[in-house]
Structure 1
Amino acid sequence: MTQALALSPSGHLKLVIFDCDGVLVDSEQTCCRISAEEARAAGLAIPDERSVEEFSGMALPEIQKDIEQKTGKSLGSDWADRVQKRFVDAMKLGVEPIEGVHAMLEGVKKLGLPVRVGSNSSEEEMDAKFMATDLTQYFTNRIHSARDMGIPKPRPDVYLHAAQQEGVDPACCVVLEDSNTGARAAVDAGMMCVLLRPGPEPVPDWPNLVRIRHLSEFVPLLQKALHSQE
């Protein structure tokens, strides 16, 4: 028998797991722009204005593979590490929190729900982002890097690992994501996924997926689920 998921009245919401880029920190455009610069250096004509469309949600090894396949050139074994350093340096220079993120996190905290982060970014990069946006206090010792694990999304491993570290069943978790890549990882992990998508881009027709358009909608969604489960 399939276990009811975390937003269902018959489910048990016990853990909230966040993606990082585009959900907590507005770093997606910066990282995608750097990836586009690297792609152009390798010979691909990808302008900055198409960078998010091309690279959103992708881990660096995937980006490297994509560029190498399209150009027929090897970028070298140190490419991902070198670009990762560019990401970290850019984050230290300044990055903005997603609008409403502090209020949202305080709201989740008041509900008594533990939180974790599962991201394709490295832990070093996330540390820099959270320091720059005053989010470190919420996630000390609670961040998990699919890049550092060597198993990037859309594989579900980073989300399964976060649930395991909390000691809860995947069905008891809600994941907040903004990319199709990350949403696929959450759904494949057997978790409920809330997809933050403010623009006109459609949402995939997958099970266990709920759309919100602004972070202010997230806490009421959790609150409603908790009340229905009392």
Structure 2
Amino acid sequence: MPIPLCLLFDSDGTLVDSEIILAEVMGELLPTFDLPFSAQQYIEEFRGVRFRTIIDKLGKHHGILGEESYSEMEREMRHLTEQRMRAELLPIDCIPEALESLVKYPKAVVSNGPERKVRCAMESTGLSKHFGDNFYSAYNLGIWKPDPGLYLKAAESMEQPPERCVVIDDAIVGVAAGLAAGMQVIHFNRFPKKEKTPEGAIVIHHASELPKTVALLAAKIECS
């Protein structure tokens, strides 16, 4: 029997509907540190981007934060986000059913977020059972998407060659990372009117499309 492909999932916006929570928390918190920001700005410009990168870009226009202020802001942001996630977070529509259909495939969550946040998201939505202990955080590995190294490190840890890995990511930074890593990439494009799927990635618009797309990829790879 052929070895199943390894599925590497992003977390925020791919598995769980956490981006609106993060956007709202940042939209409320950042202005208290004299950084004008809105939830809409996060959704339109910064989905999937490392928090530090966002703050540094804002700082170029509104003033660089000192390290003490940055640390205070990040602690508060993480605390408020976790509180809301535990109370409100839901999986993306049809993701639980899709994961049940993909039970034979080894899986991991590969995120630009801290591991604590990823585990909180999976526990709060009941998705942890699909991933075992396969959680790979940019904060632990020191590599952030769009650098392909984060997905490559996850594949190495999963003992899978890049060409047998499938990245499922909703953010352009994650799609770019997967393509640069030489992996198959499924762009879960939930905002097709605003985002264009990069060349080389396969596009889906709803999680219900995922099992069939993975099966077609698996058949294509086995025949090549």
| TM-score relative to the length of structure 2 | 0.88
User: Shift of the alpha carbon at 1:72?
Assistant: 1.4
Match in the other structure for 2:16: 25
Counterpart of 1:54, as a letter, is E
Q: Does 1:116 align with 2:108?
A: yes
Superposition RMSD on alpha carbons, in Å?
2.0
Distance 1:197 1:225 in 2: 18
Q: Which of the numbers 91, 97, 118 marks the counterpart of 2:85?
A: 91
Contact conserved, 1:119 with 1:145, CA < 8 A, in 2?
Answer: yes
Provide runs of 4+ in structure 1 moved above 6 Å: none
Q: Deviations over 1:164-209 (max 9, x none)?
A: 01111111111000011111111111111111113322324433x1
Q: Which of the numbers 134, 149, 152 marks the counterpart of 2:144?
A: 152
Q: Does 1:185 align with 2:177?
A: yes
| Structure 1 unaligned regions, length at least 5 | 1-11
Distance 2:165 2:48 in 1: 20
Counterpart of 1:218, as a letter, is L
User: Tell me, what secondary structure is at the counterpart of 2:108?
Assistant: strand
Contact conserved, 2:113 with 2:139, CA < 8 A, in 1?
Answer: yes
Note closer, same or farther for the CA distance 1:224–1:164 as it changes in structure 2 (3 Å cut). Answer: same
Contact conserved, 1:39 with 1:67, CA < 8 A, in 2?
Answer: no
Q: Does 1:138 align with 2:130?
A: yes
Distance 1:183 1:50 in 2: 20
Identity of aligned residues (%): 25
User: Tell me, what secondary structure is at the counterpart of 1:34?
Assistant: helix
Match in the other structure for 2:196: 203
The number of residues matched between the two structures is 217
User: Tell me, what secondary structure is at the counterpart of 1:36?
Assistant: helix
| Structure 2 unaligned regions, length at least 5 | none
Match in the other structure for 1:9: none
| TM-score relative to the length of structure 1 | 0.86
Match in the other structure for 1:73: 64
Q: Which of the numbers 24, 43, 52 marks the counterpart of 1:61?
A: 52
Note closer, same or farther for the CA distance 1:148–1:33 as it changes in structure 2 (3 Å cut). Answer: farther
Q: Which of the numbers 160, 173, 179 marks the counterpart of 1:168?
A: 160
Which of 1 and 2 has higher RCO (CA within 8 Å, sep 6+)? 1
Distance 1:177 1:46 in 2: 25
User: Tell me, what secondary structure is at the counterpart of 2:119?
Assistant: helix
Distance 1:179 1:211 in 2: 12
Distance 1:161 1:103 in 2: 28
